[in-house]
Amino acid sequence: MSHHAQPLRGQVALVAGATRGCGRGIAVELGAAGATVYCTGRTTRTQQSPMNRPETIEETAERVHAAGGSGIAVQVDHTEPDQVDSLMARIQQDQDGQLDILVNDVWGGDDLTAWGRRFWQQSLENGLLMLRQAIHSHIITSRYALPLMLERGTGLIVEVTDGNTLNYRGQLYYDLVKTSVIRLALALDQELRQHRDDTRITALAVTPGYLRSEAMLDHFGVTESNWRDAIDQDVDFAVSETPRFLGRVVASLAADPGVGRFAGQALASWDLAKAYEIDDVDGRRPDWGSYSPVN
């Protein structure tokens, strides 16, 4: 890829929660745009998280390299302030304090989400753990990353959510997570605006549409090569998108000198794909917003 096609060459990114799904897709596409990407998560080749999934941060880092960037895998539990603090100290040392892009993608709530049961029938312990893993982790990571960005006066913070509305998402804890990270983007934007005028740090939230993640492919018993076979099981799956579609959107935001116009907002992959003229890796341009019954 030519230098012209790598607008993020020389930039440093941290994708928190890069093991799989959106995080991996974003890390790979930031790499394709030339960035050095710290790929963090709990699952390594020698240690598995409670998610009990095969994907590893090392594999993500290798895919970042293969795409044309530099991938660095670091095992971090983002609910542990000490581990996040150590990570930032390492970036401070390795990159001379440079951190241009932070993607807060830590989730870890799939096994904790009790769909189809009322709030009072659900495990309180699991619900509170979800809030810790998927909201507290984002707050902790931003708290330790911001000083690096503030030192240089520039940066982009991306909160990854599900949906860009405040409509109820069908399960109390899940709803709190996904709406809270949208609110976090707005709150960070407000805090940064009130900090000082010359700071060009933008915080925003992004959502994919119907995500064709590794876990979702497994759920339907298909692979990326024959994913269409699952449309019989769920007609909506026809409009699904790969994690790299959102990755391309985030890379375009990071390369956009006018990204500040989106500060504090919750943005959708399908809207940004039109604005930036982005196609998914299979050449399609999924438009979940015009398709989805909950528009």
Alpha-carbon separation of residue 228 from 108, 221, 234, 238, 281 (angstroms) = 27, 11, 10, 7, 15
Q: What is the CATH number of the domain that holds 151?
A: 3.40.50.720
**Confidence at residue 1, expressed as pLDDT on a 0 to 100 scale:** 45
Instruction: Decide if 272 contacts 252 (C-beta within 8 A).
Output: yes
Instruction: Decide if 14 contacts 40 (C-beta within 8 A).
Output: yes
**Confidence at residue 173, expressed as pLDDT on a 0 to 100 scale:** 97
Does the residue 235 lie in any domain?
A: no
| Tens-digit pLDDT string for the chain (295 aa) | 445 689 999 999 999 999 999 999 999 999 999 999 999 999 899 988 988 898 999 999 999 999 999 999 999 999 999 999 999 999 999 999 999 999 999 999 989 999 999 999 999 999 999 999 999 999 999 999 999 999 999 999 999 999 999 999 999 999 999 999 999 999 999 999 887 666 799 999 999 999 999 999 999 999 999 999 999 999 999 999 999 999 999 999 999 999 999 999 999 999 999 999 999 999 999 999 998 554 4
Tokens of 132: 């810790």
- Domain with 173, as residue range(s), is 7-211+243-289
**Confidence at residue 47, expressed as pLDDT on a 0 to 100 scale:** 85
Does the residue 48 lie in any domain?
A: yes
Instruction: Decide if 160 contacts 151 (C-beta within 8 A).
Output: no
Does the residue 1 lie in any domain?
A: no
Does the residue 233 lie in any domain?
A: no
Does the residue 2 lie in any domain?
A: no
DSSP per residue over 70-104, as a string?
Answer: EEEEEE--TT-HHHHHHHHHHHHHHTTT---EEEE
**CA–CA gap between residue 86 and residue 38 (Å, rounded):** 13
**Confidence at residue 199, expressed as pLDDT on a 0 to 100 scale:** 73
Query: What are the two backbone dihedrals, phi and then psi, of residue 254, each rounded to the nearest 5 degrees?
Result: -65, -30
Does the residue 236 lie in any domain?
A: no
Does the residue 231 lie in any domain?
A: no
Does the residue 159 lie in any domain?
A: yes
Query: How many domains does one find in the chain?
Result: 1
